[in-house]
A and B are shown apart, each in its own frame.
Chain A
Amino acid sequence: MNEPTNYTFKKIASIEFGFFSPKLIQEVSVAKVVTPELYDKESYPVDGGLMDVRLGVIDPGLTCRTCGNKFKECPGHFGHIELARPVLHIEGIALIFSLLKTTCHNCGRVLVSDEKLNLIKDKLKEVESLRGYENKLKEIRKLLIKLKTIIKCPHCSAKQKPLKLEKPYTFYEDEQKLSPIQIRARLERIPDKDIELYGINPEATRPEWLVLTRMLIPPVTMRTSLTLESGERAEDDLTHKLADIVKINQRLFENINAGAPEIIIDEFWELLQYHVTTFFKNSVTQIPPARHRTGQPLRTIYERINSKEGRIRNNLAGKRTNFCARSVISPDPMIEIDEVGIPELVAKKLTIPEKVTKYNEKFLKSLVEKGKKSYPGANFVIRPDGLKKTITDETKEQILEEIQPGYVVQRHLQNGDVCIFNRQPSLHKMSILCHKIKVIPGKTFRINPAVCFPYNADFDGDEMNLHIPQTEESRAEAELLMSVKNVLVSPCNGLTIVGCVQDAISGNYLLTKKENFTKKEAIELLYSVDHKDFTKLPKGDEVDGKDIISALLPKGFTFYGKSRSGDVIIENGYLKEGVLDSSSLGNGAGLLLRSMLQKYGEDLVSDFIGKMFKLGLKMLLQSGLTTSVSDIDTDSKFQNKIAKYFIDADSEILKISDKLYKKDFHPTKDQMIEAETEIMKILGNAQNEAMKCVSDYFNEETGTTIMINSGARGSKTNLTALAGFVGQQNSRGGRIKVGYRKRTLSCFKKYDIGSEQGGFIKSTYKKGLKPHEFFFRAITSRDAYMDIALRTPKSGYLYRRLANALQDVRVEADSTVRDIDSKIIQFKYGEDGIDVSKSEKGSIDIKKIIREVAGN
């Protein structure tokens, strides 16, 4: 293979910040802009105009006169304008103000005597070296406040005049306006040794540079123009603004040369200042923003950089990518948990570059022969010299002949290729995982429902993104670090995050409970989930559900745990006792899965989860599970029993009410609160007892109770709300507040503090709510929705801040935790260096080890 050997690797080591001095502007500038015109009659850029070809080219066909490159190759070059009169830089106003205010107008020295100056400088240096630049700025700010009150210059004893800044950019001294020329002259006088006091580095910036005499013109390439359909050109906002500046500047020159009266010159000067200011920042509070003819404000430099849509957060910190796809997701329990089903349409569009070697030459050639349109084929071929060729019917034959080791074929995606799958919002690292591709018919992405939880996805129309890593390194990294198998346990709390959900749980629950299978049935069931090892099944013809599950468990696996209803005992790879429900198999729990993971590794566990999932579904297919309204039917005896709890509670409340509203007794606020807590307690007790009564009543195994008991879906509260009573509606930490005069709704009597008017719903969802109960339910529902709507942005901002603060914190090789400045944050991660996802919730289970060794 003949690889090009003359690679040059460049790495940016550092970025320096500084200010452009007039001299530097002159040096970097390739053209002086003198005319506001952009194009001539032939729509060729005017020489000395803002679109001058020396500043770079944006039209195909033109060549840059500076570097000789064509469109898209020329990086663009800076030009400059000579301003007729100097103007102030808007970002520097605050600094100019404090500079003027704290230096002598007579001698230009800072208002501190020389000895003191050295002391302060030493102190600042110390602060900077110890506590950083920002703390130095804080010190400086404190210092400057003190200096502002000094009246007499300690160097030349001149009396200081009061200085005023009229925002945004006009300075007055003794009620007299200071022109930028005067300001510049003053700033020039401040010696280098003094400006260090303001945090200015004299090597980087001289204060007088903040008053612009010469302005840098950004290259054409950063303000490209659009050609509209009508053939008209729409210029960039920056070009518009620059044109304004050049225009006014030109007129100011003419007026000065013509000896126009001072007032007119001042007016133009002011206008120039306005245009230069809005060129830098178009959202200065005190001046009206410059607008398009349509009235929408121009987006100038500040707006381009700032905010979420600005350059930094939108283009630099976040990037767009090729080789990606997005589609609706739908469930497919029959594919493995680390697979993703993609439609052929996507597989044909996305490609993987594969280098031709003598081992795969035949294979790749066969793909090339298939071409672009039929699957599996290939789309492009890249020659070793970098030329990319599209495979079409015409070029196919020639390419086939040409292909030899060293070529790269961009082939279609095939089963088993690595991809990265993502769902927004990507709140944790499990939101971006690596899957293996499986090409299947249809138009959606298919995932195993078991991986819904890490993505927080459901199938009500969610869309997800798919990325194809293009290099060997990235593929290896994705596969080894971010595959679904690697994140079975969450680093947040050490709980499993991939596990059975919904039907799979209730199915397995039923399976562990069911006893009479024939061996034939058992083998059929196991074979349907792709399990072919039947040696663990018992010898006779009678098999029970536990045996079937035992067949999936690894040999020698011992586990003692708890299910929702009792103990789970697994000894030597056999499920001896207990049922498997959501606390063993589900996500957000799963001690079972975790101890299996520790002993046998992620491959076995992910395989186990996949098989258990399918087994549950197959089991349900056989036995069936229906939830029906008759599941929640109740008899009148039960209804009376429930009602009696509430009648008792009501009579107790009545006692309190009687005490409170005795004749001639006016309850104080404290007494009211006390009564309210008392009532809440009574109702809470009644509610709890009634709830117990409900769960006692529904002790039969129906579809509904199976789902609840196995933890697949629904809860006792849900069942109670359907069959027993809905219960107390709470809003803002109490019962429903009084909204009318002395009552919560107009249908109640005044001074009623009973359960009904306080938002206690005695009806059930099955029977239906009474009107007032419906109102109360609506209150709490609305409250809950508001809560979500308000919470999301708040927690999002908290997350952004946390991530920004901690993004550089990492574990070093010496097991200390440090940030980028190598400041030690922790000597050992979490004080003992244990990774949460590799241990039992961040600690090590010694008892288990002792049990294993000592044997009891």
Chain B
Amino acid sequence: MEDLIKKYEKKLSGKIISDIKLNVPKNIDKKKLEEIFKRAVTVFENAQIDTSEACGLIASSSFGEQSTQMTLNEKHGGGTSTIQLSSGLPRIIEIFDGRKELSTPMMEIFFKKKKLSENEVKNYAMHIKETKLIEFIEEFQLDFINQVVKCYLNKDKLKKEKYSQEAIAKALQKNMKGIIVEEEEEYISVKKKIKDEKIMDLYKLKDKLKNVFVSGIKNISQVVIVQEDDGSYKILTRGSSLKHVLELDFIDPYKTTTNDIWQICNHLGIEAARAAIIKETDKVLEVQGLNINIRHSMLIADTMSLSGIIKGITRFGILLDKDSVISKASFETPMKHIFNAAISGQKDKLKSVMENVMVNQPIPIGTGMGRLLAKEDS
């Protein structure tokens, strides 16, 4: 078996070889095994893609055709009903645009320890969730004479979440600029560094204080604990902050993931981002019940991540990176491209499909690639 594998290793793909290893009956004789390999090679070679096939256009038309069947339904529950994920066509557009701001950022957090009690998980969840001051506040009192806002904290809540008044005061000072925080026995007093005379300003300060970030991880506005079939727990979050979550020591960094491709690109690198694009696209397709082969999303993901960072398929992304002036001009904002080409004296070498269509010449794709090797003027 081993030497047969060695013999056919270069002719077959890794998946086929492992498939053969998995499925072949153990007591098979060598002749039959070789026959299997031989047949696999023929089938594999027959299935190879043709040279100069316009695989890019096939990928795009696969998506283009199928995307007319996607729903526009913005949201869909991702495992739980409380966290809604955008799905369908808007999500596909979001992925291919390479947007930095997602409409529904989401994280899936796993834990290192396999066996956790529910309480522990709740504790962790609390640790992750972004908490704002308003959640600890019993009441605000406005002292107009001294221009001070007095924050009375909810003692029960503090105890429950294991926070001290001191810690919150420190967090306040750290996370909001231009204020002086003083800790009193019963309350925390906050005043502005620059004193204002207006009464309205104190109200404004109060409103601002409500939303000051106190603990947890920024941008993660909601956490949901999900128990999986095997009894282990995971946390789904609304909002995403891969960097800060990965810094936590109790999470499993290998399984924890986000749906924000840019965060993956920035913290895990471009290859991870490429994989994320494929995964996210496939997720949408699965929910929509569509069937597009993974090769097509792979090709699109590869094109998007070609330059080392994620580039969206927009007129500011990969479409801008083309060398050909006319090809760019035929997409959007033609005048801009033509003017820029004129002032910099660019040359369009008519390599691309679009220009050759324009000047009625064979396109460099498919049968248009065929050339005759012949001597020029004899």
Contact = CB atoms under 8 A, between A and B. Distances in A.
A39 interface: no
A494 B293 contact: yes
A132 B36 contact: no
Contacts of A11: 361
A809 B54 contact: yes
A733 interface: yes
A733 B73 CA distance: 8
A854 B299 contact: no
A809 B363 CA distance: 12
A341 to B, nearest CB: 26
A829 interface: yes
Given A808-B351, A809-B59, 13 more contacts: A13-B350, A15-B348, A134-B321, A203-B345, A787-B72, A798-B89, A807-B60, A808-B365, A820-B351, A835-B50, A844-B44, A850-B24, A854-B28
Interface in A1-49: 11-19
A854 B73 CA distance: 50
A825 interface: yes
Interface string A565-592: 0000000000000000000000000000
B340 A791 contact: no
Contact of A801 (B55, B313, B353, B366): B313
Given A13-B349, A807-B354, A134 B89 contact: no
A594 to B, nearest CB: 12
Interface string B337-364: 0111111111111111111011101001
B146 interface: no
A817 B320 CA distance: 20
B342 A17 contact: yes
Interface stretch (B63-71, B109-117, B201-209): B63-71
B335 interface: yes
Interface in A831-849: 831-836, 838-839, 841-844, 846-847, 849
Given A17-B325, A791-B72, A825-B303, A91 B47 contact: no
A762 to B, nearest CB: 24
B13 A131 contact: no
B291 interface: yes
Contacts of B327: 804, 808
A820 B323 contact: yes
A349 interface: no
B30 interface: no
B284 to A, nearest CB: 13
In the complex, which of the residues B68, B330, B355, B365 has the most CB atoms of chain A within 10 Å of its own CB atom? Answer: B68
A34 to B, nearest CB: 28
B314 interface: yes
Contacts of B296: 492, 836
Interface stretch (A304-312, A329-337, A398-406, A708-716): A304-312
A201 B343 contact: yes
B57 A807 contact: yes
A805 B89 contact: no
Contact of A495 (B19, B291, B348, B350): B291
Nearest to B77: A733
B55 A850 contact: no
18 contacts: A17-B342, A132-B321, A205-B343, A733-B84, A805-B303, A806-B56, A806-B303, A807-B54, A810-B365, A810-B369, A811-B55, A817-B55, A817-B56, A819-B56, A820-B323, A821-B323, A826-B302, A833-B13
Given A794-B89, A853-B39, A199 B344 contact: yes
Contact of B323 (A132, A817, A825, A856): A132
B336 to A, nearest CB: 9
A795 B15 contact: no
A492 B43 contact: no
A258 interface: no
Contacts of B103: none
Nearest to A806: B56
A199 B341 CA distance: 10
A14 B49 contact: no
Contacts of A677: 81
B51 interface: yes
Given A794-B89, A808-B56, A492 B50 contact: no
A847 B39 CA distance: 12
Contacts of B367: 477, 481
Contact of A792 (B58, B68, B82): B68
B136 to A, nearest CB: 18
A830 B298 contact: yes
B96 interface: yes
A812 B366 CA distance: 10
Contacts of B84: 733
A820 B61 contact: no
B345 A787 contact: no
B343 A95 contact: yes
Interface in A166-193: none
B36 A17 contact: no
B61 A803 contact: yes
A132 B327 CA distance: 15
A787 B68 contact: no
Interface string B238-266: 00000000000000000000000000000
A493 B50 CA distance: 17
Contacts of B365: 808, 810
Contact of A799 (B67, B74, B351): B67
Nearest to B61: A428
Contacts of A16: 345-348
A795 B358 contact: no
B60 to A, nearest CB: 4
Nearest to A201: B345
A17 B338 contact: yes
Contact of B342 (A18, A316, A477): A18
B79 interface: no
In the complex, which of the residues B40, B53, B55, B296 has the most CB atoms of chain A within 10 Å of its own CB atom? Answer: B55
Contacts of A199: 340, 343-344
Contacts of B96: 798, 801-802
Contacts of B16: 832, 844, 846
Contact of A806 (B60, B82, B293, B348): B60
A427 B343 contact: no
Nearest to B59: A806
B77 A820 contact: no
Contact of A12 (B35, B47, B307, B350): B350
A251 to B, nearest CB: 30
Query: What are the nearest 10 A-B pairs in CB distance?
Result: A204-B345, A809-B56, A799-B64, A806-B56, A802-B60, A830-B295, A201-B345, A832-B13, A492-B62, A17-B341
Contacts of B32: 853-854
Given A17-B341, A317-B358, A491 B58 contact: yes
Contact of B292 (A12, A493, A732, A801): A493
B18 to A, nearest CB: 9
A799 B55 CA distance: 15
Nearest to A836: B293
B48 interface: yes
Nearest to B81: A677
In the complex, which of the residues A15, A428, A812, A826 has the most CB atoms of chain B within 10 Å of its own CB atom? Answer: A15
Nearest to B35: A853
Given A312-B330, A798-B67, A807-B354, A790 B72 contact: yes
B331 interface: yes
B326 interface: yes
A429 B58 contact: yes
Contact of B293 (A19, A135, A481, A842): A842
Given A17-B347, A853-B36, A838 B68 contact: no
Contacts of A203: 345
Contacts of B351: 808, 820-821
A164 to B, nearest CB: 23
A711 B28 CA distance: 41
A328 B63 CA distance: 28
B52 to A, nearest CB: 5
A477 B331 CA distance: 29
